[in-house]
């Protein structure tokens, strides 16, 4: 069935290209849903049984290291909500919108196969490895599975990437919420709702997940509805904040969410946010089936595929594969999968739903974002996503741009970055539903708020994960830092992380670092897949390593090449401009450091594989064992 579904999708894309006609979006959405469902049902079951050998008789670190703050057994559906909310940042929404300049087919095909064969494998394998390594970080897993050198190098790379990532994501949230009292009110109200939900599940009515969910979700929905009335109320001026004030508010929230017990604020807030996230996407899917919008963007856009475009300054290869990250594969997921989530897993079998399942759902989100963007006419799409000066050079005419601006109540031309065109696309689908025609402005502002909420849940978890990473790193020099419940270490490490990404947002310099993040994020995915591959070799399952090696090789080649092209085509030219010299230097240096770190990890991984496969030297709990030993038995996956 999966092969037949793939053939149908390919044939439809090919015929639409040959005929030069528009394609309806419904078959593409159905095709992706079928592939996602079949992959989860069969492929993830194969991974769970053969590669990872999940065993519910094992006691997870949520119990063995339970401290009520970071390690805490959590219901798998609640944890799924947290994990999905944490990994679903700007990537699955904005990436496909930006990549639409190449046409809808390249991005769709990358997400179709990338999500189920690369991204979900990446997320699932790292999550299980971390659960079996007491919830340790990717860098710590690399230290044991590959070598101490690889672990140290990975620590440096990961810390750089995560601070830049949080700053970039935070900047998007700040720009979305600035001067928006509706968005600020709604997102602020999710905090007390999360606190109430956490207390209800674990203190007031322990174990009553349904009761807590009903109360929390009802509160969030009420905040969404009431939020639309805030701008006209007396609270409007007080909740209309500047970018700097929003930055301070997010920094304070990120600090508090990282320090408080995970069950009290962070996990329940992400859980409640996931209802709004998934609920909105389900409504959009239903809207697509009812409205069945045509994709007005072409299947392929040869001039931008071959020469680069006005939205993404690079050719399709390799820049498509770093522009669409979270919808296909994202290294940031490995940080969450080896950060907060493994510390709350109740039993190993839960990792299948949370690790593989959440990534597949994120792929669905990305496809819906692509449909929303490609439902715009090409002229309108480019007019929104590039500056007016650049648009004037494209020789493309707008179709509905003025009408769109009038219906949403604000000027949309030249609103670069992808968020506004995505909101317009969402609003078009919703307003085309029966009885919704006059609500275009409402749905547009709802979509802007939805995007900010989508991204903010990544920042709180990312800050906590970064705190864990920094504590692990500092613990090599002062042992108490290794204890995640040691309050002085928690406060200091959290403060350093928040200051790092908060400074970049405040100064605005992150706008010049963002292009580097796309490369860095995918290089981190390459590191995670490399570590997973070595872990399979270490446990005597080298025959299955093709499952991780194929996506690893593809991501390594495309992303190292993209980093090279970024340095010479985009970053070095910045250094020739006096006012952008420093920004260019930052991009060149950080990109080069991360690329070198990845190459070192690859070399160390090859050496480890050689010792195991050729020399027969395995390692169990840090002790080397030869295959000639009569008591030899390879360690389990993730326990080398």
Q: What pLDDT sits at residue 131?
A: 96
Instruction: Report the distance separating Cα 273 and Cα 452, nearest Å.
Output: 11
Pick from 47, 43, 526, 40: nearest CA to 329: 526
Assign 3-class secondary structure to 529-578.
Answer: HHHHHHHHHHCCCHHHCHHHHHHHHHHHHHHHHHHHHHHHHHHHHHHCCH
Query: Is residue 618 classed as helix, strand or coil in its secondary structure?
Result: strand
Ramachandran bin of 511, using left for φ above 0, alpha for ψ from -120 to 50, beta for the remaining angles: alpha
Tell me the per-residue pLDDT of 205-248, one tens digit each, with 9 for 90 and over: 887 888 888 898 888 888 878 887 888 889 888 888 888 898 99
Instruction: Report the distance separating Cα 451 and Cα 167, nearest Å.
Output: 16
Q: What is the mean pLDDT of residues 8-26?
A: 60
Task: Say whether pLDDT at 3 is over 80.
Answer: no
DSSP E strands in 268-353: the ranges are: 294-295
For residues 72 and 262, the answer to whether their CB atoms sit within 8 Å is: yes
Distances (CA, A) of 33 to 188, 200, 277, 571: 33, 35, 17, 39
For residues 51 and 421, the answer to whether their CB atoms sit within 8 Å is: no
For the record, the structure tokens of 249 come out as 């508010």
Task: Say whether pLDDT at 512 is over 70.
Answer: no
Q: What pLDDT sits at residue 44?
A: 97
* Cβ-based burial of 496 (10 A; exposed 0-12, middle 13-18, buried ≥19): middle
Q: Tell me the pLDDT band of 7, cut-offs 50, 70 and 90.
A: low
For residues 372 and 429, the answer to whether their CB atoms sit within 8 Å is: yes
Task: Say whether pLDDT at 197 is over 50.
Answer: yes
Tell me the per-residue pLDDT of 398-428, one tens digit each, with 9 for 90 and over: 998 899 888 887 788 888 778 888 889 999 9
Q: Position of tokens 């990250």?
A: 325
Query: Phi and psi at residue 620, in whole multiples of 5°?
Result: -130, 120
Pick from 347, 187, 404, 345: nearest CA to 276: 187
Q: Tell me the pLDDT band of 479, cut-offs 50, 70 and 90.
A: confident
How many residues are recorded in the chain?
Answer: 640
Tell me the per-residue pLDDT of 385-401, one tens digit each, with 9 for 90 and over: 888 998 999 888 999 88
Say which residues have a Cβ less than 8 Å from residue 423's Cβ, sequence separation at least 6.
408, 444, 447, 448, 451
For residues 273 and 453, the answer to whether their CB atoms sit within 8 Å is: yes
Say which residues have a Cβ less than 8 Å from residue 542's Cβ, sequence separation at least 6.
536, 612, 613
Instruction: Report the distance separating Cα 578 and Cα 564, nearest Å.
Output: 23
Among 3.40.50.150, 3.30.1490.190, 1.10.3720.10, 1.20.1740.10, name the CATH number for the domain at 2-179+241-626. Answer: 1.20.1740.10
Buried b (16+ CB within 10 A) or exposed e, 313-328: ebbbebbbbbbbbbbb
Q: Position of tokens 């040691």?
A: 486
**Four-point Cα dihedral 42, 47, 49, 51, nearest 10:** 160
Q: Which of 440-444, 521-525, 528-532 has the highest mean pLDDT?
A: 528-532
Helices 138-145, 510-538: crossing angle, 10 deg rounding: 40
Q: Position of tokens 């020789």?
A: 395
Alpha helix stretches (DSSP H) within 39-90: 44-46, 61-64, 76-87
Higher pLDDT, 392 or 629: 392
For the record, the structure tokens of 410 come out as 């604000």
Instruction: Report the distance separating Cα 428 and Cα 25, nearest Å.
Output: 14
For residues 338 and 349, the answer to whether their CB atoms sit within 8 Å is: no
For the record, the structure tokens of 117 come out as 């064969």
Helix (H) or strand (E) holding 613: helix 581-613
Pick from 124, 131, 126, 125: nearest CA to 62: 131
Domain parsing of the chain, residue ranges:
2-179+241-626
Tell me the per-residue pLDDT of 101-138, one tens digit each, with 9 for 90 and over: 999 999 999 999 999 999 999 999 999 999 999 999 99
For the record, the structure tokens of 119 come out as 């991204």
Q: What pLDDT sits at residue 622?
A: 67
Q: Position of tokens 């200091």?
A: 492
Q: Tell me the pLDDT band of 21, cut-offs 50, 70 and 90.
A: low
Pick from 63, 49, 463, 66: nearest CA to 252: 463
> How many helices, marked H, and strands, marked E, lie in the chain?
30, 4
Query: Is residue 632 classed as helix, strand or coil in its secondary structure?
Result: coil
Q: What pLDDT sits at residue 134?
A: 93
Task: Say whether pLDDT at 18 is over 50.
Answer: no
Q: What pLDDT sits at residue 159?
A: 86
Say which residues have a Cβ less than 8 Å from residue 286's Cβ, sequence separation at least 6.
none
Q: What pLDDT sits at residue 294?
A: 93
Neighbour count for residue 397 (Cβ, 10 Å): 11
For residues 370 and 115, the answer to whether their CB atoms sit within 8 Å is: no
Tell me the per-residue pLDDT of 327-350, one tens digit each, with 9 for 90 and over: 899 998 999 999 889 999 999 999
Does this model's pTM top 0.75?
yes
Q: What pLDDT sits at residue 6?
A: 52
Q: Tell me the pLDDT band of 27, cut-offs 50, 70 and 90.
A: very high
């Amino acid at each position: 069935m999966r092969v037949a579904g793939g053939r149908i999708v390919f044939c439809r894309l090919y015929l639409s290209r040959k005929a030069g006609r528009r394609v309806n979006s419904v078959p593409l959405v159905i095709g992706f849903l079928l592939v996602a469902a079949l992959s989860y049902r069969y492929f993830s079951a194969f991974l769970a049984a053969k590669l990872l050998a999940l065993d519910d008789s094992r006691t997870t670190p949520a119990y063995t290291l339970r401290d009520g703050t970071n390690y805490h057994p959590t219901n798998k559906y609640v944890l799924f909500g947290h994990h999905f909310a944490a990994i679903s940042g700007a990537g699955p929404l904005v990436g496909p919108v930006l990549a639409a300049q190449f046409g809808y087919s390249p991005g769709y095909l990358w997400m179709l196969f990338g999500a189920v064969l690369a991204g979900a494998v990446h997320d699932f394998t790292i999550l299980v490895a971390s659960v079996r390594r007491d919830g340790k970080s990717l860098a710590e897993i690399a230290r044991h599975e590959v070598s101490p050198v690889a672990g140290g190098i990975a620590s440096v790379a990961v810390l750089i990437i995560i601070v830049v990532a949080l700053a970039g994501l935070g900047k998007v949230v700040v720009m979305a919420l600035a001067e928006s009292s509706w968005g600020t009110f709604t997102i602020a109200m999710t905090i007390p709702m999360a606190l109430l939900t956490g207390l209800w599940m674990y203190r007031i009515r322990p174990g009553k997940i349904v009761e807590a969910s009903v109360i929390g979700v009802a509160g969030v929905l009420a905040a969404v509805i009431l939020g639309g009335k805030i701008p006209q109320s007396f609270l409007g001026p007080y909740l209309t904040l500047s970018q700097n004030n929003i930055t301070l508010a997010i920094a304070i929230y990120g600090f508090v969410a990282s320090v408080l017990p995970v069950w009290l604020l962070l996990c329940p807030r992400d859980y409640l946010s996931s209802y709004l996230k998934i609920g909105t996407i389900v409504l959009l899917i239903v809207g697509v089936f009812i409205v069945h919008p045509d994709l007005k963007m072409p299947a392929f856009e040869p001039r931008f595929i071959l020469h680069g475009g006005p939205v993404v300054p690079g050719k399709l290869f390799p820049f498509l594969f770093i522009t669409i990250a979270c919808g296909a594969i994202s290294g940031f997921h490995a940080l969450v999968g080896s950060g907060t989530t493994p510390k709350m897993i109740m039993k190993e079998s839960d990792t299948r739903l949370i690790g593989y399942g959440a990534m597949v759902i994120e792929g669905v989100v990305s496809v819906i974002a692509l449909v929303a963007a490609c439902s715009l006419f090409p002229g309108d799409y480019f007019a929104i996503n590039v500056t007016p000066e650049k648009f004037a050079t494209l020789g493309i005419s707008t179709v509905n741009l003025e009408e769109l601006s009038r219906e949403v109540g604000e000027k949309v031309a030249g609103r670069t970055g992808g968020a506004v065109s995505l909101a317009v696309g969402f609003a078009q689908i919703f307003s085309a539903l029966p009885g919704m025609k006059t609500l275009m402005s409402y749905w547009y502002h709802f979509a802007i708020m939805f995007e900010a909420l989508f991204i903010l849940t990544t920042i709180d978890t990312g800050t906590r994960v970064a705190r864990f990473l920094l504590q692990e790193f500092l613990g090599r020099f002062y042992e108490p830092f290794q204890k995640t419940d040691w309050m002085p270490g928690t406060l200091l490490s959290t403060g350093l992380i928040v200051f790092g990404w908060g400074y970049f947002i405040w100064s605005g310099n992150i706008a010049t670092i963002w292009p580097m993040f796309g490369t860095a994020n995918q290089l981190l995915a390459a590191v995670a897949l490399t570590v997973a591959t070595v872990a399979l070799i270490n446990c005597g399952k080298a025959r299955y390593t093709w499952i991780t090696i194929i996506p690893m090789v593809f991501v390594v080649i495309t992303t190292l090449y993209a980093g090279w092209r970024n340095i010479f085509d985009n970053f070095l030219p910045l250094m020739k401009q006096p006012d952008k010299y420093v920004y260019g230097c930052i991009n060149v240096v950080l990109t080069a450091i991360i690329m070198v770190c990845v190459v070192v990890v690859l070399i160390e991984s090859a050496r480890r594989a050689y010792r195991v496969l050729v020399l027969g030297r395995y390692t169990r709990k840090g002790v080397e064992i030869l295959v000639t030993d009569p008591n030899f038995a390879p360690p389990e996956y993730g326990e080398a």
